[in-house]
Each structure stands twice: as C-alpha cells, then as structure tokens.
Amino acid sequence: MRLITHNMLSCNIKGVTNGFPLRIEAGNVIEKEVDFNPDFIRHMFAKLEWKALVEGARSMGYAELPEDSPDAAVLESDESFLKKLHHALLELHLEEGALVCPKTGRKFPVNKGIPNMLLHEDEV
C-alpha cells in the first residue's frame, strides 16, 4: 500500500465521523522504484491532505517532506521537491502492517500490500 492510497482512505464504521487519517502501523516497509512522471505528481498534489501525508511518511521511515504544504509555485520550479514527493507517494510500500482508526482503534490489516477495508457485520 502506498501513501497515495493512504491519503484517500478513512475509517467508515457506522457512527464514526472523523476517521481520517488512519494511523499507520508499519510492519514491513519496502522501497520499489517507479518511473517519475512529473505531470502526474503535480496533478495529485492538489488533491492531497498534506499533514496526513507527512505523518504517514514518517511512520514509514521517510522524514524528508516539509512540514507545511508548499505553494503551487514550488511545483513548477523545484524538481527536487517533486522527486521527494514522488518518492513518498509512490515508492514507499507498506507490505505488512495495519491502518488504525483514530477514533475507535479498529485495525484494518494490510497484507501483501493490499489493505482490507471491509467492515465486519456489526460495523455496517
């Protein structure tokens, strides 16, 4: 599971209103190289929740991202920033671990890189 996915997910148990962001319990994190596509990164940047991304990256062992979300101007000019963002979003993989709901503590397991977001019968 990559950080780009983590940035989209929240806990949707019945009754939980603010289940985002999910805390990452990193069991096994690996790095896999992905071709750099700057247009795609720029397009995604506008949709990200920055704080959640920075915290998520930290839980996976990557602390190079700036705390505050940079302005859009940085995207055009600074390629090294885009590369860092690319690395954080696409190249860090959580193979085994869990995503934990901030409100209820419910764990959504991640196995073989695939998060299991299915709810149990009493959570629907």
Partner 1 sequence: MWFLCVFYHRLLDFRKPEVEALAELFGEEIAENESLQWRLPVHHHNDTPFHFVQLSSEEIARNIAKRSILVKGMYELWGEGTCYEELKDSILSYSDSRKLQFLTSDSTFRISVETFGKGLTFDEQKDRIQSLTYIPFEGRVNLKNPDHNFFLMEMIESEENNGLQPILQRRIFFGREVGFADRKLLPTFQLKSRTYLGPTAMDAEMAFLMANQAKATSGKLVYDPFVGTGSILVSAAQFGAMTMGADIDIRVVRDGRGPDCNVWSNFKQYGLPMPVALLRMDNNLPPWRSGLKEIFDAIICDPPYGVRAGGRKSGGRKILRGTVDPYTVPDDKRTDHIPSTGAYSLVECVHDLLHLAARMLVMKGRLVFFFPVLRDETGGEVKFPEHPCFKLVAVSEQILSSRYSRFLLTMVKVEPYSEEIKEAARLMHLEFRENHLKWLEDGNIHSSVFKPIDSSQIHTDPKAFKDPKPKYRGKYV
| Neighbour count for residue 57 (Cβ, 10 Å) | 22
Query: Does 1 contact partner 1 by CB under 8 A?
Result: yes
Query: Is residue 102 within the footprint of partner 1 (CB under 8 A)?
Result: no
- The interface with partner 1 within residues 4-43 (CB under 8 A) comprises 4-5, 8-12, 19-21, 32, 34-35, 37, 39-40, 43
List, as one string, the DSSP characters of 24-66.
Answer: EEEEEEEE------HHHHHHHHTT--HHHHHHHHHHTT---S-
* Smallest separation, CB 20 to partner 1 (Å): 4
* 122 three-class SS: helix
Q: What are phi and psi of 75, to 5 degrees?
A: -60, -40
Binding residues for partner 1, rule: CB under 8 A, are 1-2, 4-5, 8-12, 19-21, 32, 34-35, 37, 39-40, 43-44, 47, 49, 90, 107, 109, 111-122, 124
